[in-house]
Amino acid sequence: MVVSEVPVDSLIIRDGRVVGIRAGNDEVYGDVTIIAEGINRLVLERSGLVPKLSPDLVALGVKEVIKLSREEINERFNLDEDEALLGNRWLPNALPTWWCLYLHE
């Protein structure tokens, strides 16, 4: 059985092993429990399975999508019709930043 998109309140742990989850008044048990919290690992932290993240271990990424025509992109970046643009750069005290222009018709 696969149960998805259910807010989990806590894990059911017995003998050091996760055997299920609690969601509201419901309990679901299984041989395997897949935790897919991502970086917001609140259930794992509350269960004591991982330490609370410290601010120096967390980064914030921001993405902005701007729609430009092929002509506007070529003009702004001085490109010929058959060229594309791909690059990266390092920001001071930060992770590398990758960017790419995708040309959609």
Residue 97 is encoded by which pair of tokens?
């930043």
What residue has token string 């917001």? 40
At residue 36, what are phi and psi to the nearest 5 degrees? -125, 50
Which of left, alpha, beta for 44 (phi over 0: left; psi -120 to 50: alpha)? alpha
Q: Rounded to a whole number, what is the distance in angstroms from the first to the last CA of the chain?
A: 42
* Whole-prediction pTM: 0.51
**Distance of CA 95 to CAs 20, 59, 60, 65, 87, Å?**
37, 9, 10, 20, 14
Mean pLDDT by 10 residues, the chain (105 residues): 83 92 92 82 89 82 81 83 64 51 50
What is the torsion angle, in degrees rounded to the nearest 10, for the CA atoms of residue 11, residue 14, residue 16 and residue 20? -30
Q: What pLDDT is stored for residue 105 in this prediction?
A: 47
Q: What pLDDT is stored for residue 7 in this prediction?
A: 87
Which of left, alpha, beta for 16 (phi over 0: left; psi -120 to 50: alpha)? left
